[in-house]
Amino acid sequence: MIKLIQVDLDQNRPLGNLFNVSAIPTLLFFKDGVLLEKNIEIDGEIRVQKGKMVGACGEDLMRLILEKM
C-alpha cells in the first residue's frame, strides 16, 4: 500500500526542519514508518538519497523507485 501525505510546512516548520527540507516540493520515502535509509539508483543515477527524492520524476521513474524500495 502506498500512502501520499501532503504537509503545509508554513503551518508545520518543525517537521520540515526534522527532515532537513530545504526546497518545496520535497518528496520523502518512508518504509514501515521509517525514513528510507538507503540510496536508490536508477540508470546509474541516484534518484533517492537517504529517503529524499533527488530531482524530478514522472510516473515511470516513480514505479521503478517503488520497486527498488
Q: What predicted TM-score, i.e. pTM, was given to this entire model? A: 0.81
Q: Over the stretch 11-22, which tens digit does the pLDDT of each residue have?
A: 999 999 999 998
The helix (run of H) or strand (run of E) holding residue 69 is none
DSSP codes of every residue in 1-56: --------TTT-HHHHHHTT--SSS--B-EETTEE--S-EEETTEEEEETTEE-S-
The domain spans of the chain are 27-68
* CA 36 to centroid of chain Cα atoms: 8
Q: With contact defined as beta carbons under 8 Å apart, do 4 and 30 qualify?
A: no
Per-residue pLDDT reduced to its tens digit, 6-65: 999 999 999 999 999 988 889 999 999 999 999 999 999 999 999 999 988 899 999 999
